[in-house]
Structure 1
Amino acid sequence: MTLVYDCEQGFQFIASIERDYNGAIAWVFLPGETVKLPVVVSASGAKFSDGKITYWSSKGGALLEYNGKEYKQCKVNRKQSIWEDAKLRGVDFRAVGNEPGWTLEIRNSEQILFVTNYGQDRYVFPAPEPVSNTATHTTEYKTSADGKALTVTLKGKQCDDSMADDETYPTTVTIQFDGRHYMGCSTPLH
């Protein structure tokens, strides 16, 4: 689970919680450094600390003690958390669309995951070598698996999310899958 937190005074940090053989740990991404924090006992929520830096999450918010400062009012930025989680899972490119809600992830140039029908249906395809056309500013992936064909076209053209007035992406995505046409927006994850 990866969470992006927006704190007071414009401070932002990312925390990724995972389990290892010793229990839970938190990777906390701070300006200029990444720290691994072990879990410590707390009265409520999940608390991680190395004695210098403390990350304590509870009920959708967090407290961070870092660099001699205490950030008490840190709130989860849900939208950014989804994109950061994908990036940390090794996703190179992520796209989203509506009606019905769908996501597409290209991972390590090896796999394409297409999730549609508001998360109900998941399809995994091998990622083929992309075919790029500099004249039209497009990149196309054509692949198939289990009797289903998928064509993904990425166009270097600004895309406005039809369900979020303020959300603009640098890439327009068109998908042809199982006789249906899907439109959406995307951005590369670096």
Structure 2
Amino acid sequence: MRALSLAAIALLAGCATVSTAPAGPAATYRALGTEPFWSLELNGREMVFTEANAPGVRIVEPQPQPIHGFAGDIYHGRRINLNIVHGQRCSDGMSDRIYRDKVQVRVDDRSFEGCGSAIESSTPI
């Protein structure tokens, strides 16, 4: 009976875990910023950073497993590091759109700040 109770507790504990990372191909996380214009996309397989003001700047690397903190998620790649602060509403400053999260991105030796949110595949881009 004790083994069954421990198994039930373990099962319930596993069910209580909630991931905020993109869930495969159905969801993509997109972050962006202005001055300079940049974007970062996490699609479950890779992280893709682009900078609009620098043609040809496109850095792609495998998406690492996130480190889940109490305020958000951290992704440490070889060249791209992303810190997502969930639930801090954010405006990109150029449009009326409000994003769910604030983000900080470090690419090589450069730092960027902006906004981000998960985007479902059925959402028009």
Give 2:9's aligned residue.
none
Q: How many residues align structurally?
A: 94
Give 2:46's aligned residue.
111
Is 1:102–1:119's contact at 8 Å kept on the other side of the alignment?
no
Give 2:100's aligned residue.
170
Give 1:124's aligned residue.
60
Consecutive unaligned residues of structure 1, counting only runs of 5 or more, are 1-88
Deviation per residue, 1:96-130 (Å, 9 max, x gap): 111111111101x2100000143621000110000
Q: Which amino acid aligns with 1:182?
A: F
With the length of structure 2 as denominator, give the TM-score of the two structures: 0.69
Give 1:100's aligned residue.
36
The structure, 1 or 2, with the larger RCO (C-alpha pairs under 8 Å, 6+ apart) is 2
Aligned equivalents of 2:97, 2:105: Cα separation in 1: 20
Deviation per residue, 1:42-99 (Å, 9 max, x gap): xxxxxxxxxxxxxxxxxxxxxxxxxxxxxxxxxxxxxxxxxxxxxxx86611111111
Aligned equivalents of 1:90, 1:124: Cα separation in 2: 20
Give 2:117's aligned residue.
187
Answer 1 or 2: which has greater strand percent: 1
With the length of structure 1 as denominator, give the TM-score of the two structures: 0.46
Answer 1 or 2: which has greater helix percent: 2
Give 1:141's aligned residue.
75
Identical-residue share of aligned pairs (%)? 27
Please tell me the root mean square deviation across aligned C-alpha atoms, in Å. Answer: 1.7
Which structure has the bigger radius of gyration? Answer: 1
